[in-house]
Structures are given as C-alpha cells and as structure tokens.
C-alpha cells in the first residue's frame, strides 16, 4: 500500500496546534490530530492519498459552521467528506 502524502503545509496552516485547540474548544465534535486517525481520512476508495492537518467529526450543524469560521480565520483549507467511497479521489482534495 502506498504511504499517504504528507504535503508541505502553507505558512497559514503551519500552526496545527492552534487549529486543534480552537476546534476542541469551540465545537462539540470529535477532533482527531494523531497520525493514525488522520491516516484513516487520508484516502478514499481510490488510489489517491493526502494527509489532512486535522479531522473534525461534527455532532451538529453548528459545529460545521464554527469549524468553517475557524478555518477561515486561520486561512486553513476545508475539505468536506462523506462516506469516503469515491473511486476518483474527490474526498482527498
């Protein structure tokens, strides 16, 4: 199996700790930043793999809105993910 790409981060998302801290504080969803958890979200049913900076599994619609606001303030790109069953890489950026 191919190793997920751990692409260089833009300067704006270099502070992953701030992103995770705010997501944990301001949302009720599950925030995952460890390598194993992020690795599960680095791919879908396709051959494409890209390691996310963090993963939020929202509990409410408000969690989604808050996460998008935080990402906007920190200039972090957001990629919504559904079931991860695409065979063309749409859920990996």
For residue 38, what is the domain's CATH number? Answer: 3.30.43.10
- Quote the pLDDT of residue 7: 57
**What mean pLDDT is predicted for residues 29-35?**
94
Whether residue 1 is contained in a domain is answered as no
Distance set, CA 55 to CA 10, 13, 20, 40 (Å)? 17, 14, 9, 10
- Quote the pLDDT of residue 43: 78
Whether residue 3 is contained in a domain is answered as no
Whether residue 84 is contained in a domain is answered as no
Q: Are 1 and 44 in contact (CB under 8 A)?
A: no
- Quote the pLDDT of residue 79: 84
Whether residue 24 is contained in a domain is answered as yes
pTM of the model: 0.74
Q: Give the structural domain span for 68.
A: 16-77
**What mean pLDDT is predicted for residues 23-46?**
90
Burial class (CB in 10 A: 0-12, 13-18, 19+), 86: middle
Whether residue 62 is contained in a domain is answered as yes
Over the stretch 53-64, which tens digit does the pLDDT of each residue have?
899 999 999 999
Whether residue 73 is contained in a domain is answered as yes
Whether residue 82 is contained in a domain is answered as no
- The number of residues making up the chain comes to 93
């Amino acid at each position: 199996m191919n190793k997920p790409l751990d692409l260089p981060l833009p300067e704006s998302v270099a502070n992953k700790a701030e992103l995770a801290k705010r997501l944990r504080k301001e949302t009720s969803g599950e925030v995952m930043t460890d390598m194993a958890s992020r690795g599960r979200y680095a791919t879908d049913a396709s051959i494409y793999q890209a390691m996310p900076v963090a993963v939020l599994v929202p509990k409410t619609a408000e969690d989604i809105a808050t996460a998008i606001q935080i990402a906007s303030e920190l200039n972090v790109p957001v990629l919504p993910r559904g079931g991860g069953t695409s065979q063309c890489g749409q859920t990996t950026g």
